[in-house]
Amino acid sequence: MFLSIRHCRYPLGIRALAATVTLFLCAVARADEGSDLEKAYGAYVAHRYDDAEARLRRLLDGKDALKDADSVADARMYLGAVLIAEGRKEEADRVFEQLLLDKPDYQPDPLRVALPALDAVVDAHTRLRDALRTILADRVRREQEEQKRIEGEKTRAEAALRQLETLASQEVIVERHSRWEALLPFGVGQFQNGDRALGWTFLVTESLLAAGSAVGIGLGLYNESQAYDAFTNGQGTAPGYQARASDSVVVGDVLGLSFAAVAALGVAQAELGFVPERVHVQPRKHRLGFAPSSETPAPAPSAPAPSPAPSSGATSSSGPRTGMSFAIGPLGITLVGRF
């Protein structure tokens, strides 16, 4: 009978039950292995060597062979002890050698096997000393490599986590530039391209030249005005004012042309070194506020302003009323007059 989990009403419960049953069966299997091994050992202790050998060989090579490495090692130890007791030392030596090759650090229990079997294990260990040393060294090397691999994976995982945390705490800002802004004077193009030193140089130089040109032109106009007044009044200082006006205009024109030349140079440099965009990283800003929801109720309308109270000068007749009154509203004091 097959049960389809897909059509089951409680799949989680059935899965938990199946896992429990599997664990129980594994525990039972291990218990059976230990029980069979103890039975074989009991036959060895009772000197029923044929029965013990048959049981042990079935546990080592049969369809019900042992799976646990420690149990396999104990079974080989008991089989070698049985063979030693039967006088089959060569076969026992092969069994002990296989035991030590599979488990080089195996230590027999001196309370469970006879002394001749213990001596045979020591002799086998002596014969295989170099091979066992190589096996142990290779095992240590593999364990170290595995440990390094695990530590490397852990280090890479931690580095990846730190990188993710860094990326999560930063944001990349792409600032796109315009060639139209690069056409502006006073170092605007240089500042846009990120060359702050050159930008300040053009800004200060062009500002001084522009200011000097404006001052020169202003002085020229002033001296022209003074020369005109002196000429009109018949004073003899008119030529001096006229000369100073001419000199001021020349200086203003020279500074103005210099400003134009430096500005053109700055624009050309900004266009030639134009940077289309700049990318920079900055800490991410965590905003704690929130946008108002569309469902936020509208504010309640303000209370209407009180109606103007009649002043003491108002009449109470039914005809046209004259006088003045005032009211305090949201915009201040309102005066109302009727005449």
Give the residue with greater pLDDT, 286 vs 245. Answer: 245
State how far Cα 266 lies from the chain centre. 42
Q: How far apart are CA 62 and CA 36, in angstroms?
A: 13
Per-residue pLDDT at 315: 41
Q: How many CA atoms lie within 13 A of 299 on its CB side?
A: 3
**332: alpha, beta or left? (left if phi > 0; alpha if psi -120 to 50):** left
32-89 tens-digit pLDDT: 667 889 999 999 999 999 999 999 999 998 777 888 989 999 999 999 999 999 999 9
Q: Quick: pLDDT tens for 168-219.
A: 887 778 888 888 988 899 989 888 888 889 889 999 999 999 998 899 899 8
Tell me the per-residue pLDDT of 258-300, one tens digit each, with 9 for 90 and over.
Answer: 999 999 998 998 888 888 887 777 787 754 444 444 444 555 5
Q: Give the DSSP letter of residue 104.
A: T
Q: How far is CA 131 from the centre of its chain?
A: 50
* Distance from C-alpha of 203 to C-alpha of 219, rounded to nearest angstrom: 24
